[in-house]
């Protein structure tokens, strides 16, 4: 695609500032770990797979100016950087996965000179970026088989180009189907409170020439009752061993609506979004964000009375029994459950042995 | 209550301009039918019961300057005014009911001098206002029996003081329960696109000292899954003979979520909201409003890419099988169906013989 959400350019992390979309396409060049932490926090860069790359690069930024040549000193710096970046946002597992990838690369090379360790870490971060491009294409290819020509797909938040490196998970499925010549109609839930659906998904789908219609989140049931939705596809921020999936607040609403209206509900996510150490969704920490994201539209226009209470969980957990299938880069997991999830990742379980 | 949504003052219609809330409490004095039409259209005054009063007063404004003294001429003027006001918004039945009330009052007095006919019409409009105050209190009293002390109630849009004359239907139930000393916690869905939940319901509940927390509409399922919601109560804009109910877009979402999470889902509305000539909800005309209400927050801040499509139905239809009970001013209709609805309005069916 012609949009690159995050990359390494001129020795800096280049990201699209997603808070400026859809009005302006602005790139930010970041060379300080603290600035990257902030960019993650305020969601200038967001989306689980993109956060994996951002976190890996962030840790690298945190250690690259280390002037010593000793492993123990470097290791302390590394651990501090890893801990710091990990404190930016709690729910998307990919963020922690990205951190661990670069930390493991350093650890494995701890006999090498520090300058070489740093180089290996940067290479590892770049590998995450290349792997994501590849994995999104695979998700797209697998998932597109589930879409018939003429299908009408409803999605929430942004699990597209802007949530990954350059293709998307849920929207990647749509892009792949479109490439195959299938005519797909997309309904994009605006996704309050931060409007990633209208601001980001509509923007990129429209730019890619996909037939997209924006709706208020409240309109989903009415569309389904009217027979206007064939399939719902959402991304995920963390998937437990039994298939319970955390994703943007509102995803559970859609899954329940799908069950009632007998519409397939799919999650699309790479292997790196699975957290097989968690038995089920109850173990997933849901980020609570500032109430002002709800009481002030885009932190500007106040829409609630001064002083009124508001709660603002950023995610909800969809139980696996409401998920028709999970579309991964390793294949489609139907009736998501511990057995079916383990089967598809067989032989790759080492990838999940993480220490957090 | 200390807030009066609509009334007749100094020979003008005085309304609260609801587009200015919650920032400012501004009253508008309207003495031209065309201005009232506009106020209804842009929702400076809204809410089914309030629209009944507004429409009745609107028709009166349209004829009160008729200078002739002949019934045929006056009748033509009256019909034109009725038709004009009826064109403002299509879904809330109360609007048409209010128009017919004043027209019928004129018709019944067509042997009287025109000046007397006008006077009767104004009296009829004032009667609608008084009757609404009374009917909301009854809804509150009946409905409050359904709320236990400590109940947590979720609601959508505004079916409160600002949707009626001064008490509310769904929120009236809450006010009555609170008056009885029951501690009630309210979650108010912000209600995109026009945010009547955050702007209006939060404002009036907060002002009345009710414990209210605002949420993005997307948060409803998550709250229910977490056991935080005991009851959902919504208002209605039109209820068919079998109990199918039109209300603000998003109401159907909540009804489906309630079914899945085994939470009672109630509609609260006066008798004037029933349209017994309609067999079921399929006959209800759903108003489609300007896409810009979705693409621009409060018609100001653009949140979608220029040119992107959007659809903006103002209402959805909740089928009666998802409604646990309808709380009316005549009593509570459990398992809403043709038989149970007819039973509660027995002997008052003449009130429904309307010609539209």
Residue ranges covered by each domain of chain A: 6-136, 142-354
A194–B contact, CB cutoff 8 A: no
Cα separations (Å) of B318 from A97, A346, B50? 44, 46, 22
Residue carrying the six token digits 């998920």: A323
| Phi and psi torsions of A342, nearest 5° | -65, -35
Distance CA B81, CA B63 (A): 7
Q: Which residues of B touch A316 (CB under 8 A)?
A: 218-219, 221-222, 225
pLDDT per residue as tens digits for the range A29-73: 999 999 999 999 999 999 999 999 999 999 999 999 999 999 999
| Alpha carbon distance, N-terminus to C-terminus of chain B | 34
User: Residue A54's pLDDT is what?
Assistant: 98
**B178 has pLDDT over 60:** yes
Is B233 within 8 Å of B173 (Cβ atoms)?
Answer: yes
Distance CA B210, CA A160 (A): 41
User: Residue A328's pLDDT is what?
Assistant: 98
Q: For testing the chain B interface, which of A204, A222, A316 should be mutated: the one with the most B CBs within 10 Å?
A: A222
Q: Which residues of B touch A152 (CB under 8 A)?
A: none
| DSSP class of A349 | G
Q: Is A28 helix (H, G, I), strand (E, B) or coil?
A: strand
Is A119 within 8 Å of A102 (Cβ atoms)?
Answer: no
Cα separations (Å) of A119 from A64, A85, A88, A99, B66? 9, 19, 24, 15, 88
Instruction: Give this complex's ipTM.
Output: 0.94
What pLDDT tens digit does each residue of chain A (356 aa) get? 678 999 999 999 999 999 999 999 999 999 999 999 999 999 999 999 999 999 999 999 999 999 999 999 999 999 999 999 999 999 999 999 999 999 999 999 999 999 999 999 999 999 999 999 999 999 999 999 999 999 999 999 999 999 999 999 999 999 999 999 999 999 999 999 999 999 999 999 999 999 999 999 999 999 999 999 999 999 999 999 999 999 999 999 999 999 999 999 999 999 999 999 999 999 999 999 999 999 998 878 889 998 889 999 999 999 999 999 999 999 999 999 999 999 999 855 443 443 33
List all residues of chain A from 270 to 299 with a beta carbon under 8 Å from chain B.
294-295, 297-298
pLDDT per residue as tens digits for the range B292-350: 999 998 878 889 998 889 999 999 999 999 999 999 999 999 999 999 999 999 855 44
User: Residue B302's pLDDT is what?
Assistant: 87
- The continuous run of DSSP H or E covering B187 comes out as strand B185-189
List all residues of chain B from 223 to 242 with a beta carbon under 8 Å from chain A.
225
User: Residue A351's pLDDT is what?
Assistant: 38
Q: Return the closest-CA partner of residue A81 out of A46, A28, A125, A133.
A: A125
Average pLDDT, chain B: 95
Distance CA B246, CA B252 (A): 9
Helix%, strand%, coil% for chain A, nearest 5: 45, 20, 35
Helices (H), chain B: 33-41, 48-63, 71-86, 93-108, 114-144, 170-179, 196, 202-207, 220-225, 251-261, 292-295, 338-344
> Measured between CA atoms, how close is B123 to chain A, in angstroms?
36
User: Residue B348's pLDDT is what?
Assistant: 56
- Give the contacts of A204 (CB within 8 A, at least 6 positions apart): A3, A158, A160, A161, A162, A168, A171
Cα separations (Å) of A203 from A154, A218, B98, B224, B310? 15, 20, 44, 32, 13
Task: Count CB neighbours of B9 within 10 A.
Answer: 11
Residue carrying the six token digits 């499509």: B309
Q: Return the closest-CA partner of residue A81 out of A146, A34, A26, A129.
A: A34
A233 forms beta bridges with: A266
Q: CATH number of the domain at A142-354, please?
A: 3.40.50.10470
> Measured between CA atoms, how close is A283 to chain B, in angstroms?
14
Q: Which of B253, B300, B304 sits opposite A221 (nearest CB)?
A: B253
Distance CA A234, CA A231 (A): 10
Distance CA A76, CA B45 (A): 64
**B158 has pLDDT over 70:** yes
Q: Over the range A281-295, which residues count as b (16 or more CB within 10 Å of their CB) and which as e?
A: beebebeebebebbb
How many CA atoms lie within 13 Å of B19's alpha carbon, on the beta-carbon side?
Answer: 14
User: Residue A353's pLDDT is what?
Assistant: 41
Of A237, A244, A275, A329, which residue is the catalytic one? Answer: A237
A208–B contact, CB cutoff 8 A: no
- Give the contacts of A161 (CB within 8 A, at least 6 positions apart): A1, A3, A5, A167, A168, A171, A204, A208
Distance CA A276, CA A349 (A): 9
Q: Is B249 helix (H, G, I), strand (E, B) or coil?
A: coil
Residue carrying the six token digits 């980001």: A200
Is B250 within 8 Å of B191 (Cβ atoms)?
Answer: yes
Q: Which two tokens stand for residue B285?
A: 């005309």
Q: For testing the chain B interface, which of A215, A218, A251, A286 should be mutated: the one with the most B CBs within 10 Å?
A: A218
Q: Which of B213, B304, B306 sits opposite A309 (nearest CB)?
A: B213
Distance CA B265, CA B263 (A): 6
**B352 has pLDDT over 60:** no
Q: Which residues of B touch A206 (CB under 8 A)?
A: 305, 307-308
Distance CA A303, CA A306 (A): 9
Which of residues B100 and B308 earns the better pLDDT score? Answer: B100
Nearest 10 degrees: Cα torsion A223, A226, A231, A233 = 10
Q: CATH number of the domain at A6-136, please?
A: 1.20.120.420
Q: Which residues of A touch B297 (CB under 8 A)?
A: 297-298, 301
Q: How confident is the model at residue B353 (pLDDT cuts 50, 70, 90)?
A: very low
pTM of the model: 0.95
Region of A258 (left: φ > 0; alpha: ψ -120 to 50; beta: rest) is alpha
Is A252 within 8 Å of A317 (Cβ atoms)?
Answer: yes
Distance CA A139, CA A204 (A): 18
How many CA atoms lie within 13 Å of A26's alpha carbon, on the beta-carbon side?
Answer: 12
Distance CA B191, CA B314 (A): 11
């Amino acid at each position: 695609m012609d949009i690159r959400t995050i990359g390494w350019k001129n020795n800096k992390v280049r990201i699209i500032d997603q808070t400026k979309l859809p009005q302006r396409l602005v790139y930010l060049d970041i060379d300080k770990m603290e600035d990257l932490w902030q960019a993650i926090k305020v969601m200038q860069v967001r989306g689980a797979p993109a956060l994996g790359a951002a976190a890996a690069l962030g840790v690298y930024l945190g250690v690259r100016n280390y002037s010593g040549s000793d492993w123990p000193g470097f290791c302390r710096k590394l651990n501090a950087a890893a801990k710091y970046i990990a404190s930016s946002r709690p729910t998307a597992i990919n963020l922690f996965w990205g951190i661990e990838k670069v930390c493991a690369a350093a650890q494995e090379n701890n006999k090498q000179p520090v300058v070489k360790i740093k180089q290996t870490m940067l290479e590892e971060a770049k590998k995450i970026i290349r792997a994501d491009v590849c994995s999104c294409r695979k998700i797209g290819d697998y998932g597109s088989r589930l879409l018939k020509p003429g299908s009408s797909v409803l999605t929430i938040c942004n699990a597209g180009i802007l949530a990954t490196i350059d293709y998307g998970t849920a929207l990647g499925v749509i892009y792949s189907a479109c490439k195959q010549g299938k005519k797909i109609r997309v309904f994009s839930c605006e996704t309050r409170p931060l409007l990633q659906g209208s601001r980001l998904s509509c923007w990129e789908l429209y730019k890619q020439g996909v037939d997209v219609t924006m709706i208020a989140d409240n309109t989903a049931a009415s569309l389904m009752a009217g027979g206007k939705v064939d399939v719902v596809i959402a991304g995920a921020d963390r998937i437990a061993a039994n298939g319970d999936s955390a994703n943007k607040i509102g995803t559970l609403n859609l899954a329940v609506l799908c069950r009632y209206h007998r519409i397939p509900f799919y999650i699309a996510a790479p292997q790196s979004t699975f957290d097989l150490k968690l038995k089920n969704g109850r173990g997933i920490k849901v980020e609570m964000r500032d109430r002002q994201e709800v009481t002030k539209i885009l932190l500007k226009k106040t829409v609630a009375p001064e002083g009124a209470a508001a709660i603002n969980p950023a995610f909800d957990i969809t139980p696996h029994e409401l998920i028709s299938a999970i579309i991964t880069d390793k294949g489609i997991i139907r009736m998501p459950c511990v057995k079916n999830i383990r089967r598809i990742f067989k032989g790759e379980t080492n990838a999940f042995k993480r220490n957090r």
